[in-house]
Amino acid sequence: MNDNNCTMIHNGIPYKCSIALALSVIGGKWKPLILWHLQNKVLRFGELKRILETITQKILTQELRELEADGLVNRNVYAQIPPKVEYSLTKKGLTVLPILDMISEWGADYCSTINKEAK
């Protein structure tokens, strides 16, 4: 895809490249993993925190808020004591899964190649 004649604006930031825009929405250390673990599941905050062992509560909260603001994650709050909040993928969030599948396959192939070269 040729992005030379197209400027995209997301959250007030202009992007001249669709890859830069996509990475601003789903890139980083944690967002792809959050999306990956939400595939076919509804998870509570604490469950995500346990799965993503080394993520801090602050960063998990921030990443979930950004993913929700970008329309990739649903946040359902249940009015009960103690409060219950569940996260799931939106229809738009589900469209990212094939990309994450390809990244997963690439990572496995890369690991296999590196292991073979190390021998």
Quick check: is 37 in a domain? yes
pLDDT of residue 64: 98
pLDDT of residue 91: 97
Q: Where are the alpha helices (DSSP H) in 17-90?
A: 18-26, 31-37, 45-51, 57-69
CATH label of the domain that carries residue 54: 1.10.10.10
Burial degree of 100 (CB within 10 A; 0-12, 13-18, 19+): middle
Q: Which residue has the higher pLDDT, 1 or 82?
A: 82
Quick check: is 12 in a domain? no
Quick check: is 15 in a domain? no
pLDDT of residue 89: 98
Average pLDDT over residues 67-93: 95
The boundaries of the domain holding residue 56 are 29-118
Number of domains into which the chain is organized: 1
Q: What is the pLDDT of residues 84-106, one digit of tens each?
A: 999 999 999 999 999 999 999 99
Confidence check: pLDDT of 22 > 60: yes
Quick check: is 69 in a domain? yes
